[in-house]
Structure formats: structure tokens, C-alpha cells
Structure 1
């Protein structure tokens, strides 16, 4: 029996079925692929609550629900929370402002230090052993005449090479002031100035041809200046001297219980921020020494070595117009205003000598001790010099009667001995203050 044979019509039908099947499979693959792409690009679906239409619809429904459900108590609580948050925000803003100000000041100080370093010069290589010398002189500040135009004009007329002797005086020290400026005139020193603290001293100076400057009224200073004693007036100089330094002038600050015998400007080194006379009475006490502290209870370690130096005299010192010098004046004046019972000389030395340590930044100022036989205190004179035939022949630059209360009498005796040649003029006085 012959096998069945398909005709052309059957073959065409099979081909059509294959095409349909292929198209269906292709459509399914495209659909799945497109679905995957849409799912990747739009993970939350094509139509979400973020669409404008949805938002408007939900917003309207929320308002309806809110208006019907929110109680007045809930609203009050929300208002209270908002007020609290606003207060916290204001406090945080204030703290942020304070921190920014501190940062600004810190950056300003850093910039100033960098500028000062740049002024000092280029970087250096260390030379051979024993030849290296550190930088000793700080740069001077840029003069600012706007600080006190009237004082600037006076100093321009009387100062020599931007240097001037300055003394503060009120009526309480008139007699000593007269001996003071008379000795200056006798030496021929032209660059000196009296800062008059009351009208009487101003008139006295003008009548004697003494350069004088009376400050503009200042209630904080005038009350002390007109009625204060030696220590109170002495404390004012640190505030008043600041203007001189800001104007760019070096000042030789002088108390009025001083007799001038030579021009002090001829004996200054000018290599430090401060050059001061000492209260020391010999080389050890004036220039420093190793003092051994003995504590037997420590046994083998009973001896402790300490470095000591007698204080600088705050009644006679030369100060250059540098940042370190102005910082010194600010520190001393600030402490004296906060500690009214403190002594200006003690504060002056503490700020000048105390080193940096935890909780305290020391002053970075260069200092020099003046020769005790040229810039002589009255202890050196009456305890040592007048008893030594060789030392009696030396003529000091100045004599400061700082150790004795009978100042005027001893000042006049100094004039008699060194100026008028009266050899026994110093003999009647005891070494100390007792008679």
C-alpha cells in the first residue's frame, strides 16, 4: 500500500503556523525585556504619589482629614516644638558666630606671626661651630599717627632719632620734678617730655621752658592721676606709654626721683625690646646667679640648683616700639586694672620673666640689664660706691633714689657730690632708711 504524501497546500499551512509561533515568541521576549527595563528605570512604577495629579488629589484629601482630625491641643504642641527649635537654632547660631570669631582671631595672630617672621629676614644656614648668633632685635611696628595726632606733632618736634625721655608727674612730686628736669637741662638733653597729670604741673613746666604734654580728659585715668600717690601714678604709665609706641617712638621711661649726670642715649645698646636698670646691688644680684637650695630631707638629692636675678626697676627702662613691647604694656596694664592691690614693679617683672607653661603663654620679649654702675640705684650708691675710693671716681649716667624714702634730700646730695664736687655730700646719710 502506497504511503501518504502531503501536498503543497499542507506545506504552506505548516509554514504559516511556524511564522505565527515565531512572532508570538518574539513578542513575549520583547515584552519581558521591556518590562525589565521599565522595572529598572522606574522601580516604584510609572504612576506614583509624586505626580502632580496625585499630589493635588492627596493634598485635598489631607486637608480634609487634617481639618477634621487635628485637635487644638496638637496644634499647640507643634507650635511649642517649633518655638523650642527656633530658640535652639538661635543658640547654635550664636555659638557658631563665637567660634568663627575665635577662629578669625587665631588666624589673625598666626598671620601676624608669619608677617613678623618674614620681616626678620630670609632663612639662614647654620655656620661653623661657635659662630652662630640668634636674631635679637624684633622689628618695630608701623607708626600710626591717627592714634593721637596732637601727641604725634609734639614728639615730631622734640624727639631725636625717634627717641624721647618721658616722665609722668602730678603736684605731689613737684619738688622732685624740679630737680629732675634741672639735671636734664644741665646735661643738655633736648629730647625729653613731661606728661602732666594736672594743670599745676602743666603750668609749672611751661613757666620753666620744659616740654610738656597734658592728655585729653579721661575719667578712668584722671581720678588716679590727680590724687594718686607714687605707686598709683606709676601704674598709669603702662597705659599712657602705649600711645608713644604706637606712634613709632622708643621711650626711656623715667620716674622723677632720678638725677641725670650724662646723656643716657649714649649708653644704650638698642638690641632688645626692653633695657632696664636693676634693683640688684652687685654683679650677682643684678645679672643673675646660680642659687643652690638645700633640703636635707631629700638625702642624696638635697641640693637643687635655681637661677635667680633681682628684679628690673619699672621706674627706669628703655622700651622699643615692637609688638612684644606693646604686648608687655597691655599685659601689665590689664593686670593692674584687675588687681588693684598689686605692685606695678612686681607685675612688670612677672610678665617679663615668667616662661610659658601649661595654662600660660609667656611673653616673647628680648631684655637687657643695664650696667649697675652707670645706671645706679641708691642702694649701690650709698652701700658700696661712696665707700670705695675707686668707684667714687666713676661718674654714673643716672642715679635713681629708689631704695630710700627721703628722696628729695638724697637727690640734692647727689647733685652736690657729682655736679658741684662736694666730696662729703653723701656722708650724712645712712645705708638704709633709718636715721
Structure 2
């Protein structure tokens, strides 16, 4: 196992004061699998005060992360390590331990961890593996197993449900049957976890299989089998029995950067099962992704709304030309997501419309009209009508009722402006009476 000189030096400093320093967790696991991990977690039975003293004496920068949990961040040069003292955790509700008891025994420390493959230690000074829970055997057999019985390991920390699925997906490992039963039994503990933490884990989960390039469908298999969607989004999604295989296959074809968006589109598609008018779509998306749901960012919510509106208009053949033009204005990765989920007939409609847009040189937005807001104002168009007039001009052009030429657009704009002014004067007259 390749260890930096700084970490070897730190280990030697521990040994001089009669403490043994270990690497534990993902770094050991992934190194044994032949991958190249970067994040290093280290552990020993040395109290924080002793570690701080060692670091100060040997020019390591040491920052207390959580004194109660016995965690520190230690760094030197380009190396950064997270130190945790051996301990036993006691949970209340949620994800964070209610109280901890520090211990000297490595076996006791191992048992508090989530999975046997994450409880393999590397003795830095003696350059050897210490494996109190037979995690190496599970590693060789590609098995995901909890450190203790699932009733103990999973009952107090709902986030371990998603973390276990993520690691299984990342490594392409199979769930040991008791662990799988435990995940199902304790899945409702997800309701005790903050939506911010769930969102953070979901963002990792949807791309977990891409980390080491091990193709598998664990994420969706477990989502269906454990009926997780109502628990993730905290809404009445029990109507979704399971996500169909066709959608799952399309999900795994989407680019890594758009997996999260694809996940949301699949959820909305299977939740609604029919065309949603714009106010209905806004309601559903805000319910699932907004403050009452998973608490996504406003930018992501707006993007999902835009993409789903384009998708369903093309799929249900409603205002398809306009939707196709909006499709063409998207980033390439977002185009691919929409295209993957369209039916064969909808793809034909989209292809025909995009060819039409190209052949007729139709604008992709108001910004591509041959007349600008500034030019309209210079020609006497009332400022308060400019936005509405430009929108009308754009719709007239894509419906091919007027050419996208300056002269034609200006003539129509002046006509619309006169109409708006007449209506405005008429309304003012009635209000005075």
C-alpha cells in the first residue's frame, strides 16, 4: 500500500509515544481492490490532546473538526488526513451520534462502522492489514455486509441506507441477504434524516457506478426493491409501484453530468403519467424538488421544469414546433437527456421540426429576431409594450405568418403597438367614467 512520507512520519511520531496509527475505511478498501483512492481516514486510540501535541511538535497543521466525536483534520504539505479516535457511538434520532465513548480496542471501534469492507485497518508502522471483522473475505467475494447484525448497524442511522446502496453500486457488489432485509426493515428511518443530507447522498448515488467504471443497475434495483422514492421525496408517491426497466436503461445511457436531472425527469414522468399543464407541472416539481420536497436549488428546479415542459410537449404533440425550437437552444447534454426519453413517434416529430427550423432558418429565440428592442423603441414603440410585442413577433415568425426580416417585423410591430395603445386608451376612458 502506497503511503506518503508525511503519513509515515506521523505514524512514527505516534509510535514514539506508544500509540499505533492506522488507515481505515475507503482508502484501505479501494487500495486492496487495485483502485487509486485519494481521501485518507486515519485512526488510533490516542486522545485529541495527545494528537494535537504530536502535530505541533512535528510541524503538522491540526484543526479540530468535532471534539465530541474525536475528529481532527491533519495536514502537511499537499497531504490532508482526517483523524478519528477509536470510539463507540450512541444514537438518538437522525444521523449524528447523540453521545460517544472513546475506547482503546480496535475491534470495538470496527463494530461501530457500517460495513465489514469499510472496517479493514492498515497498520502503518508494521505495514500490515488488521481485519477484525473479516472484511477482506467479503471484499474478495464481492459482498456487502454490515459490521454487526443489521438490527444494530442500521437501526439508528437512516443515512446508512443510502450509503450502503451507494457503495454497493460503486463497487458492483451484491448485498448479503440479512443486510438486504435490514435495509428494507429500517428504510423508513430515512424520514428522520434532513433533506439536505439526503440530497447530498442522492447526488453521489446517481453516479456511483461511474466512479470505477463498473456497470450495474444497483441504484435503481434497490430504489424499486426498497420502495425508496416516497421516503426520498417525502410525498405521496406510493402510486409508483416501480420504475419501468425501459426508463432505467435510458437513465444509464445519460451522460454522467446529467444523471441527476435524468433521475428527476424519470420521477416526474412516472409520478404524473399524463400531460401536465404548466401550473400543474410547477406544482408537482415544487412539491418534489422544492422546500417541501428534497430542497433542490432554484436553478436546478427551473432547469428541470424547462426540460420536462419541452419533453412532454414533444411527446404529447402539443405546440411541438415551439418545443422543438426550445429543444435546439439547449446545451448538448440536456438535449441528449430529453431525446433518450422520447418515444419513437415523438423523436420523428422532433427530427421533422428541427429540419424545418433549419430549412426555413427560423429563430431559436427572441434574440435571433432581425429586429431588437432598441430598434423598436427608436421607431416609436411604447416601452411598456416592447417585451410583449417581441414575444408576439417571435411566435408569428415560427408559425411562418411573417418573415424574419427587419422591414416585415417592424411593420407588424407598429400595427400591434397601435392596437395596444387603442385598447389602453379605451380602458382609461372607461375607468374615468
Larger radius of gyration: 1
TM-score, normalised on structure 1? 0.20
TM-score, normalised on structure 2? 0.20
Query: Which one scores higher on RCO, CA 8 angstroms, separation ≥ 6?
Result: 1
